[in-house]
Amino acid sequence: MKVVYKSQTKATWCPGCGDYGVMAALEMAFKALKLPPHEIVLVSGIGCSSNLPHFFKTYGFHGLHGRAVPVATGIKLANPSLTVVVAGGDGDGYGIGLGHSLHAMRRNLDLTYVVMDNEIYGLTTGQASPTSTLGAKTKSTPLTGVIEAPVNPLALALSAGATFVARAFSGDPKQMADLLVQGIRHKGFALVDVFSPCVTYNHLNTFDYFRSRVYKLESVGHDPTDPVAAFRRTLEWGERIPTGLFYRAERPTYEDLEPALKDGPLPHQRAGFPPDVDPLKEFY
């Protein structure tokens, strides 16, 4: 029987939005992995990109602004057997939600975080975001342009302890799908930052802007097991911008180290204290 991942809810993004490429790549990844839809949970916050769970026939949770990662953390810890994918934008993940993201990375929770990075606040009609280019004139910076240095998501992820760090471009959904497959398979926190152009409010970081600049790390022999080389690559920005897998490492996940999960997912365990534990003696 053919497995259907897309729901009947029609996507409502602006025509040409980069998020359509992310949706297509995510569907391709689910198909490649042959994941049962009822074992997938898509979690999002607030923003254009955060509508993504509505468009898939999986479990979904549309949460609060910047709070997608803690919700996803709760779901994963409650049932580690689920595949939990977090979806959001640069404002949601790198602004109000950045603290949550960094702590999930250092804990190495087994989550895949797909950030649709359009370098603007799209849903609220064009204000500067944490990744907006220095000098960019936006609705909130109409005179001088952006005067704050942009956040470098990949460098932050590496320094915080993420064990899978990648970047994709909506104009290349095939490469993105491959990175998503790798990220979902990876045991640990996987960040896939996606250049997903906002065709309505960001007229600087367009599809043409990225097409003329991006190159694939695999084409230059990059070693994703070398954290120093990966960090150097995250600093490349200008006429050449790398995409692909920057870094991957294997280390125990938070779930592996949590004693409460040693006997498997909590829903599958017997309720109550183990037979050899006297709660009055242990805790009083």
**Please, which pLDDT band fits residue 80 given cuts at 50, 70 and 90?**
very high
| Structure tokens that stand for 3 in this block | 């497995």
pLDDT (tens digit per residue) in 139-174: 999 999 999 999 999 999 999 999 999 999 999 999
The whole-number pLDDT of residue 267 equals 78
Q: Do residues 191 and 154 make contact, with C-beta atoms less than 8 angstroms apart?
A: yes
Average pLDDT (227-251) is 97
Query: Is residue 272 predicted with pLDDT exceeding 90?
Result: no
CATH for the 19-259 domain, from 3.40.50.970, 3.90.226.10, 3.90.180.10, 3.10.180.10:
3.40.50.970
| Structure tokens that stand for 209 in this block | 């802007």
pLDDT (tens digit per residue) in 92-131: 999 999 999 999 999 999 999 999 999 999 999 999 999 9
The whole-number pLDDT of residue 260 equals 85
pTM of structure: 0.93
Query: Is residue 283 predicted with pLDDT exceeding 70?
Result: no
Q: What's the CA gap between 68 and 190, in Å, rounded?
A: 15
pLDDT (tens digit per residue) in 30-66: 999 999 999 999 999 999 999 999 999 999 999 999 9
The whole-number pLDDT of residue 282 equals 58
End-to-end Cα spacing for the chain = 55
Q: What's the CA gap between 190 and 248, in Å, rounded?
A: 9
Domain boundaries, the chain: 19-259
